[in-house]
Every structure is written in structure tokens, then in C-alpha cells.
């Protein structure tokens, strides 16, 4: 009997997404740049410790020069997904959690850029808290 584990399914989806996107995250998710030099790994650890962010074990895509990614669960159904890059670029988007709607999450259905209020609440304020 053929059985696909959760991990194998994630890895297969990740490889498929890389082929489609060619390893470049869409610019529509870029929020801006942090002034460097900053210890981005330290920022990641502080976001996890201080905020509502958590390690994003289920991310389907990892892009070149990406330092970290994390997620903020807004509910069991939706999340804010944030990424930081070596050059200080910060990107984020709103999407279904893979635990709730795996197929839709893998296809990017329901994935959208953050609006101004979401950027302030879920990205700028938490970053300001860890950078001060």
C-alpha cells in the first residue's frame, strides 16, 4: 500500500513550487528593507521569544538569500507568514494554514499581500519591539 506522510507531501509541494516560481518570491509581498547591519538571526529568535510568531515548519518554499521565515497564527485557519533576507528585505503575506486547507495553501489560494493595518499590527510593531 502506498502511503505519503505529511513531511513527504510538504517536500513534494515545495519542489513543485520551486519549479513554478523559479526561486523568486513575488515583489507584491515585499514590505521594505531594514537598515543593515543587523543580526537577522537574533531578530528571528526575539520574534519567536517575545511575540506570537513561531517557527514555520510547514513552509512550502524557501527562497535564495532567505535568512528566516516565521508565522503568526491568527486562528487555526489563517496565518501571517513573514520572511527576512540577507539584504534586509522583509516580506509577508496572509494565507490559509496548511493544517486547515492543505491543497489551497499549496496552490496559493487565499494568499494575499497584507493591508496597511495588518502590516502595522503583525510586522512593524513586533519588529519595533525586538529592535528597540
Would you state the pLDDT for residue 22? 45
Q: What is the mean pLDDT of residues 59-84?
A: 85
pLDDT exceeds 90 at position 93: yes
Predicted TM-score of the model (pTM): 0.75
For 109, half-sphere exposure in the C-beta direction (CA atoms, 13 angstrom radius) is: 8
3-class DSSP string for 78-120: EEEEEEEECCCEEEEEEEECCCCCHHHHHHCCCCEECCHHHHH
- CB 111: neighbour CB atoms within 10 A? 15
Beta pairing partners, 96: 78
As given in the structure block, the three cell numbers for residue 120 are 502595522
Residue 37 pLDDT level (bands cut at 50, 70, 90): confident
Q: Helix, strand or coil for residue 33?
A: strand
Residues 111 and 101: beta-carbon distance below 8 Å: no
Domain membership flag for residue 1 = no
User: How many structural domains compose the chain?
Assistant: 1
**Domain interval for residue 16:** 6-22+29-131
Mean pLDDT of 44-68: 79
Amino acid at each position: 500500500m502506498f502511503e505519503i506522510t505529511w513531511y513527504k507531501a510538504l517536500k513534494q509541494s515545495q519542489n513543485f513550487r520551486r519549479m513554478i516560481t523559479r526561486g523568486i518570491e513575488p515583489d507584491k509581498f515585499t514590505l521594505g528593507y531594514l537598515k543593515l547591519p543587523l543580526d537577522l538571526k537574533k531578530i528571528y529568535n526575539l520574534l519567536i521569544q517575545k511575540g506570537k510568531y513561531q517557527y514555520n515548519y510547514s513552509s512550502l518554499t524557501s527562497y535564495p538569500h532567505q535568512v528566516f521565515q516565521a508565522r503568526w497564527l491568527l486562528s487555526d485557519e489563517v496565518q501571517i507568514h513573514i520572511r527576512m533576507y540577507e539584504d534586509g528585505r522583509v516580506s509577508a503575506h496572509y494565507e490559509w494554514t496548511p493544517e486547515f486547507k492543505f491543497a489551497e495553501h499549496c496552490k496559493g489560494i487565499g494568499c494575499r499581500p497584507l493591508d496597511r493595518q495588518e502590516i502595522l499590527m503583525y510586522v512593524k510593531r513586533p519588529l519595533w519591539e525586538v529592535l528597540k
